[in-house]
Amino acid sequence: MQMGMIGLGRMGANMVRRLVRAGHDCVVFDVSARAVEALERDKAVGAGSLQELVRGLRKPRAVWIMVPAAVVDRTIAELLPDLERGDILVDGGNSYYVDDLRRARELAPKGIHYVDVGTSGGVWGVDRGYCQMIGGEEAVVSHLDPIFAALAPDIASAPRTPGREARGGTAEHGYLHCGPSGAGHFVKMVHNGIEYGLMAAYAEGLNILRGASAGKRRRDVDAETTPLRDPEHYQYQFDLADVAELWRRGSVVGSWLLDLTAGALLEDPELERFGGRVADSGEGRWTIHASVDEGVPSPVLTAALYQRFSSRGEADFADKVLCALRHAFGGHEEKKP
């Protein structure tokens, strides 16, 4: 099958490679000519402009857009004059599903089909395959099945769920038509919300293990906290890289994120190369918006998001209010670090 790919960053470029390997034809464009050239060497057909890319595709055309969420609308606007009724646009980036709903509504009268695909896999996807959460019209999604199948991981990459044989479907192949427009990015959004929660669970647990030496620290110099009642209970010095490795086999908390944690701690046990300012990329926030709108509680996912805000100093003013109040009612002077 043939696919146009716009945006050849970490994700887009590797997806093209995986498609080409599977025998598909790819016409590719990026604002960086070097990115285009790199993929030409990998057997994709380079295009010098969006127009050239469109012209290089057979009808009905299928164009996969893999650009930052902020430039998707502009990219679509630039493509539109060259597209025709029946063509298909796929947004495989990290768009807010509410934008998908709007885009599908705007493109429908023009006869252009819009498909939203939440794509997970990160830098590992080129070998591991990409988990794809898909929203859009049934027939259009079916039409693109060979593309999704090629990008998806191998079914053998996880043991089969007992009872799945009877059910069939593409879910166990790592891609799924989740519902109408926006469904793909909605599921991806929640996926990332969960990801934040999982990451925070490991991070907090490791931090508690690390704190298990608290009883060894002298406390009399630190009057801002209450002294440990039982310092003899906190005399451990755990090797966190070993513990993370240990849990990878046979335990209940095994996961791909734990695999990565074990690797990161092995390489840099104190994680000294990291400063601890944690970014957040949109989906985590949108997940909380959905949770609140639906009236469904998500204390764990929200705590995980807020920890990221705090890591960037966004709680500082609130903390100062607490210091000011402690000073006001108790005459407490703040202790210096």
Residues 39-68 close enough to bind a copy of itself by CB under 8 A? none
Q: Which one among 32, 49, 142, 157 touches a copy of itself, defined by CB under 8 A?
A: 157
The C-alpha atoms of residue 149 and residue 176 are separated, in whole angstroms, by 10
The C-alpha atoms of residue 264 and residue 163 are separated, in whole angstroms, by 36
Closest to a copy of itself by CB, 9 vs 60, is 9
Token reading at 23: 């025998």
Regarding 21 and contact with a copy of itself (CB under 8 A), the answer is: no
The C-alpha atoms of residue 245 and residue 133 are separated, in whole angstroms, by 30
The C-alpha atoms of residue 93 and residue 7 are separated, in whole angstroms, by 10
Regarding 179 and contact with a copy of itself (CB under 8 A), the answer is: yes
Count Cβ atoms within 10 A of the Cβ of residue 152 and give its class: 0-12 exposed, 13-18 middle, 19 or more buried. buried
Regarding 204 and contact with a copy of itself (CB under 8 A), the answer is: yes
Min dist CB 103 to a copy of itself, Å, is 14
Active-site residue list:
188, 195
Q: Which one among 34, 81, 162, 218 touches a copy of itself, defined by CB under 8 A?
A: 162
Regarding 187 and contact with a copy of itself (CB under 8 A), the answer is: yes
Which secondary structure element, helix H or strand E, spans residue 115, and what is its range?
strand 113-120
User: Of 247-306, which residues contact a copy of itself (CB under 8 A)?
Assistant: 247-268, 271, 274-282, 285, 287-306
Regarding 161 and contact with a copy of itself (CB under 8 A), the answer is: yes
The sign of the torsion formed by the CA atoms of 117, 123, 124, 128 equals: positive
Choose the stretch contacting a copy of itself; rule: CB under 8 A; options: 33-41, 56-64, 78-86, 118-126: 118-126
Min dist CB 83 to a copy of itself, Å, is 26
The sign of the torsion formed by the CA atoms of 29, 31, 36, 37 equals: positive
Regarding 138 and contact with a copy of itself (CB under 8 A), the answer is: no
The C-alpha atoms of residue 327 and residue 337 are separated, in whole angstroms, by 17
Min dist CB 245 to a copy of itself, Å, is 4
Nearest to 185 by CA among 105, 106, 69, 279: 69
Kindly report whether the peptide bond that precedes residue 146 is cis, defined as omega within 30 degrees of 0: no
Closest to a copy of itself by CB, 85 vs 105, is 105
Token reading at 158: 């996880």
- In this structure, how many other beta carbons lie within 10 angstroms of the beta carbon of residue 113? 24
Regarding 32 and contact with a copy of itself (CB under 8 A), the answer is: no
The C-alpha atoms of residue 149 and residue 238 are separated, in whole angstroms, by 44
Q: Which one among 96, 138, 146, 221 touches a copy of itself, defined by CB under 8 A?
A: 96
Closest to a copy of itself by CB, 25 vs 172, is 172
User: Which SS3 state, helix, strand or coil, does residue 331 take?
Assistant: coil
Token reading at 4: 């146009």
Q: Which one among 34, 201, 218, 221 touches a copy of itself, defined by CB under 8 A?
A: 201
Q: Which one among 52, 106, 137, 195 touches a copy of itself, defined by CB under 8 A?
A: 195
Give strand pairing partners of 115: 90
Q: Which one among 23, 81, 109, 163 touches a copy of itself, defined by CB under 8 A?
A: 163
Regarding 168 and contact with a copy of itself (CB under 8 A), the answer is: no
Q: Which one among 143, 148, 159, 216 touches a copy of itself, defined by CB under 8 A?
A: 159
Total of residues contacting a copy of itself (CB under 8 A): 171
Question: Are 50 and 22 in contact, with CB atoms under 8 Å apart?
Answer: no
Regarding 22 and contact with a copy of itself (CB under 8 A), the answer is: no
